[in-house]
Amino acid sequence: MTEAFDLHPSRSHLTWLEQRLVTRNAQYAEFSGIYPLSDGLEAFAALYTLIEKAERSLDIQYYIWQNDMSGRLLFSALLDAAERGVQVRLLLDDNNTPGLDETPAQLDRHPNITVRLFNPFSFRTLRALGYLTDFARLNRRMHNKSFTVDGITTLVGGRNVGDEYFGTGNEPLFADLDVMAVGPVVEEVAKDFADYWNSKPVSPLKKVLEETDDDKSAVRLPDAWRHSEAVQIYLQRLDTSDFVSQLERGKLELTWAKTRLLSDDPRKGLGKARRKSLLPQRMLEVIGTPQRQFDIISAYFVPTRAGVAQLLTLKRKGVKIAILTNSLAANDVSIVHAGYAKWRKKLLRHGIALYELKPQAALQDAPHDRGLTGNSGSSLHAKTFSVDQRMLFIGSFNFDPRSAELNTEMGLVIESEALAKQTHQRFSQSMRDRAWTLRLDKWGRVNWLEYPGEPQEVVHKHEPGCSWWQRLQVRLVWRLPIECLL
């Protein structure tokens, strides 16, 4: 299926995006068109181009927005859009905005831009004081990522805004995954954004930041960096984007499938969401129980005792289960890795396949993604899983207690054999080169296998690429009763 349907047939004027993404074939009215964005450059090209082409509205929700090259380029593009008359609403989680107050404050002064913060900190400089006085609230963050343009198309997935997510240097191998969607699911995302925008955990920026004498002056963003060689080279690379060229010609190759949004109640940010509304429970209701195959890709995999029990129940029923997560060498947060490492032997003993992604040198200076609980500077940041090669989830949800109980999360459930099989094949084919395969030796110890060449096999007896001190930290941490915070 390659055709779309007219979302706004009553309008006399079709926007640039409507002309290229919307046709008038109501045959597929129940389906949404999906375009996967696994490449960092393509993902940035999609965001940048869609901002440039926006004519009516931009509703944007992110956990992290870095003040680096890609972040500044997108901030400037938002200001340009507002100058054209586009109504911009920007919702940021406040956990990752230290040192960034000035730019959102400048944008918020524009009559067409409104900025709001989720669970904002009262102390703007010494934020640790906020955790000491208001930990129960500030420990709950908005991990959602969505980007909706003109009510016509939306991007949802695992990426934050920052150079490390968009391949500005040497791009990581299997870093992240977003999808662009058109069709009925866009309205679901738009409604969900409005629910968050008007929710109690969210505050207007003007109520959080003190007003200054410059508040009535013209809106200005620093732009000297625009002329740097690195920026010019990166912008030139956008011209090679398949996404941009296909979109310009109105020939974007979409996969049409039944798609629905799953999103946490924003009241989860205050600890007031009903348990049956939380994402794990709703996933089970919508997706059902795997019958044959269950592939999990999660940057942070902390299964907990209950989660392990559920996986083993599936395995006993004959379901093949494979899990890809970060290795300790790729993720320097022992406190998070420990929550996974303590369960490896049990999972392997029961025949669950485990793969740990090797580190990528390009990510040594990666951004902090999880505040006090970790650093997302790892080779893997994607959060997706496929069920029976027929259904796929792509979003912000990690398989860990923090995603399940503390942070708000969102994602799309896509009923597409084509996309699910594509993900499964990519998962299976790439693991041999990009990840260590885990197995137990005859003494019941975990070994890490890699295959530098056929039929050569290299076996590591300890976590490869790590010091004895890192391994000791993991063993010490997994004995602490902090799993519910990971």
d(CA 186, CA 146): 10
d(CA 415, CA 421): 11
> Which stretch of DSSP H or E encloses residue 363?
none
d(CA 7, CA 230): 39
d(CA 30, CA 32): 7
Please measure the distance between the N-terminal and C-terminal CA atoms of the chain and give it in whole angstroms: 42
Site of tokens 């195959």: 293
Q: Where are the alpha helices (DSSP H) in 84-183?
A: 102-108, 128-138
- The catalytic residue positions are 143, 145, 150, 381, 383, 388
Beta strand extents in 251-339 (DSSP E only): 255-263, 293-298, 320-326
Q: Give Rg (Cα) of the chain.
A: 22
Query: Residue 452 carries which side chain, given as an amino acid letter?
Result: P
What is the chain's percent helix, strand, coil content, to nearest 5? 40, 25, 40
Query: Beta 353-357 vs 32-37: how paired, if at all?
Result: unpaired
d(CA 118, CA 198): 11
Burial tier of 342 (Cβ tally within 10 Å: 0-12, 13-18, 19+): buried
The alpha carbon of 93 is separated from its chain's Cα centroid by a whole number of angstroms, namely 13
List the helix and strand counts (H, then E) for the chain: 16, 18
d(CA 148, CA 146): 7
Beta bridge partner(s), residue 92: 62, 117
3-class DSSP state of 316: helix
